[in-house]
Chains A and B, each alone.
Chain A
Amino acid sequence: MEPKTTIDAKGLACPQPILKTKKAIKELDSGEVLELHATDKGAQSDLTAWTKAGGHELLDHTEDNGVYKFWIQKGE
């Protein structure tokens, strides 16, 4: 699915990737997708937990050369 917004949080330390994600997802309508790039090693666990708690869905994630990419679909 095409992301509506892409957030670059590369190089940022905890808690900034999650704060940026939270801000960005607020602007989306439910069903729309956010793409996030991060280098924080904790980001994967953080985003998995955060999306679940917020009722969003982590559609997919990849790791390439230390860059983590996430696709999050906004929940209801």
Chain B
Amino acid sequence: MAEAKKTTIVLFSGDYDKAMAAYIIANGAAAYDHEVTIFHTFWGLNALRKPEKQSIAKGKLEAMFEKMMPRGADRMGLSNMNFLGIGPKLIKKVMKKHNAMPLPELIDMAREQDVRLIGCTMTMDLLGLDEKELRDDIEYAGVAAYLGEASDGNVNLFI
């Protein structure tokens, strides 16, 4: 077969539904034998957070950010009809009924398919997120690494 095609996705959003769309496309692209990379920046980094609280010494502002942002994919809200957190519960129920994969499982599946997950280090600093708070199986990079991948990418998405 010809050289593998590339899919790159920027996950900016910290919404459960948008992240789900990103990860479904990533898994689909991996099934297409694409080399897939997801760059997580700003609120999208929350999808990579470990669900358990990590004890890390932080400044006041960073500690506040840590508290206010969802700790991991399963705690993320919806972009629409969030209803103060009831929306995600409802949609997870509906997803179960329709046998759709929940976001945490989609992320694990993506890793199983060798999708590269990348944390943007600049926004990690802004949001006060430490490497220890994020999944252990991810990489770290900046805009140049993203452009390097995206320049010869066949599918490029910003979600």
A11–B98 Cα distance when bound, in Å, is 7
- Mark each residue of chain B from 22 to 35: 1 if its CB lies under 8 Å from any CB of chain A, else 0: 00100110011100
Interface residues of B, dominant DSSP: loop
Interface size on A, residues (CB 8 A): 14
Q: Is B101 a contact of A16 with CB atoms below 8 Å? A: yes
B150 to chain A, nearest CB (A): 21
User: Given the known A-B contacts A13-B98, A13-B100, are A55 and B1 also in contact in the complex, defined by CB atoms under 8 Å?
Assistant: yes
B contact residues around A11 at 8 Å (CB): 99
A contact residues around B1 at 8 Å (CB): 55
A contact residues around B28 at 8 Å (CB): 14-15, 18
A53 to chain B, nearest CB (A): 6
B26 to chain A, nearest CB (A): 9
A21–B32 Cα distance when bound, in Å, is 11
A32–B157 Cα distance when bound, in Å, is 35
Q: Is B32 a contact of A54 with CB atoms below 8 Å? A: yes
Q: Is A12 a contact of B99 with CB atoms below 8 Å? A: yes
